[in-house]
């Protein structure tokens, strides 16, 4: 992996934190612009926006299905195992939904139809945002209690925040919607980010020895941890993509993006802040 050639002791603290901070600012601007234009920082899936999901087993092609439902708010047509198709529609009024139901029953009588009301979707949306905020606040409190020092604890929290913000902005740019599945992936990312950041902070502040040796040792251990996890998640992504299991593929995609972002934030942003903190403390 190219990042493994990165010499953590070669650069000054300012050089280490420059790129992550710039990317965090750009990511914040992307999410801010999306919020101003759409009301949400990320494009919501039907879990949060409301809509209708239809599962059918048919030999009809994607183009045929799109033509059949051209008069309705069709969002996507996913292909599953065998001849399975997963069709998603956006919110619609009662008359349009009744018309859609009649068309589905006449053309695909064995179809399974799941509807999520717009009001219920907004409730799920608020609960998901609350879960993310609550987990982040809880993590911040635990980290502050564990280290009892504002700067190292703040570096861990900043790195975790940067992981979420940059990952979310990439999701928005490449078109991965915010759903219950991808929200769970973001929550898992918070946990993994804190794990790698605590590894770094504990090695640097709690162990004795030269700063360069402690940073190098933590970096080697962290790279092995992250690349092992990335390999497992990449395998999950390949299997789910080949098997056309959309929700698993989206979760794996978010985790892969988030772990790659976490490599940068842990070993550049957090490490740079810690390095500057220890060097200033030694001078004092």
User: Domain with 107 in it: what CATH number?
Assistant: 3.30.70.980
- Domain boundary at 91, 116, 141, which? 116
Residue 273: what pLDDT?
Answer: 92
- Domain count across the chain: 2
> Are 100 and 128 part of one and the same domain?
no
> Are 146 and 257 part of one and the same domain?
yes
Beta-bridge partners for 114: 53
- The domain of 68 spans 51-116
Residue 120: what pLDDT?
Answer: 66
Report whether 181 contacts 247 (CB < 8 A): yes
- Domain boundary at 94, 116, 138, which? 116
Q: Report d(CA 138, CA 115) in Å as an integer.
A: 34
Q: Report d(CA 141, CA 151) in Å as an integer.
A: 14
> Are 61 and 159 part of one and the same domain?
no
> Are 151 and 253 part of one and the same domain?
yes
| 3-state class (DSSP) for residue 45 | coil
Q: Report d(CA 132, CA 221) in Å as an integer.
A: 28
Q: Tally Cβ neighbours within 10 Å of residue 267.
A: 25
> Are 7 and 94 part of one and the same domain?
no
Report whether 85 contacts 79 (CB < 8 A): yes
Residue 82: what pLDDT?
Answer: 64
- Domain boundary at 116, 137, 171, which? 116
> Are 162 and 254 part of one and the same domain?
yes
> Are 172 and 88 part of one and the same domain?
no
In sequence order, which residues have a C-beta less than 8 Å from that of residue 111 and are 6 or more positions away?
54, 55, 56, 104, 105
Strand 112-116 versus strand 84-89 pairing type: unpaired
> Are 241 and 226 part of one and the same domain?
yes
Residue 80: what pLDDT?
Answer: 66
Residue linked to tokens 């090695």 = 203
Work out whether the CA dihedral 27, 33, 37, 41 comes out positive or negative: positive
Going residue by residue through the chain, which has 284 residues, state the pLDDT in tens, using 9 for 90 and above.
455 566 777 888 898 899 999 999 999 999 999 888 877 788 887 777 778 888 888 888 888 888 888 888 888 777 766 677 788 888 787 888 888 888 888 888 888 887 776 666 677 777 877 888 888 788 888 888 877 888 888 889 899 999 999 999 999 999 888 888 888 898 888 888 888 888 888 888 877 878 888 888 888 888 888 889 899 999 999 988 877 777 888 899 999 999 999 999 999 999 999 988 888 876 55
> Are 69 and 7 part of one and the same domain?
no
Residue 261: what pLDDT?
Answer: 94
Residue 282: what pLDDT?
Answer: 63
């Amino acid at each position: 992996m190219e990042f493994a050639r990165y010499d953590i002791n070669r650069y000054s603290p300012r050089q280490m934190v420059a790129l992550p901070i710039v990317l965090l600012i750009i990511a914040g601007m992307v999410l801010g612009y999306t919020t101003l234009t759409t009301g949400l920082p990320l494009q919501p899936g039907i879990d949060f926006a409301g809509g209708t999901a239809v599962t059918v087993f048919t030999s009809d092609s994607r183009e045929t299905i799109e033509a059949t439902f051209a008069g309705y708010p069709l969002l996507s047509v996913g292909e599953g195992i065998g001849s399975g198709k997963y069709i998603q529609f956006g919110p619609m009024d009662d008359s349009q939904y009744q018309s859609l139901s009649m068309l589905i029953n006449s053309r695909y009588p064995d179809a399974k139809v799941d509807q999520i009301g717009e009001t219920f979707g907004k409730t799920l949306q608020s609960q998901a945002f609350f879960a993310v905020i609550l987990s982040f606040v809880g993590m911040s409190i635990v980290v502050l209690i564990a280290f009892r020092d504002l700067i190292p604890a703040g570096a861990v929290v900043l790195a975790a925040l940067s992981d979420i913000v940059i990952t979310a902005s990439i999701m928005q740019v490449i078109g991965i919607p915010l759903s219950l599945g991808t929200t769970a992936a973001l929550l898992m990312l918070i946990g993994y980010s804190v794990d790698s950041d605590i590894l770094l902070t504990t090695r640097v502040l709690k162990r004795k020895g030269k700063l360069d040796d402690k940073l190098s040792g933590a970096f080697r251990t962290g790279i092995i941890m992250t690349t092992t996890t990335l390999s497992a998640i990449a395998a999950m992504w390949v299997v789910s993509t080949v098997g056309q299991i959309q929700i698993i593929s989206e979760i794996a995609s978010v985790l892969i993006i988030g772990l790659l972002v976490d490599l940068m934030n842990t070993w550049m942003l957090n490490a740079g802040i810690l390095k500057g903190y220890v060097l200033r403390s030694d001078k004092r």
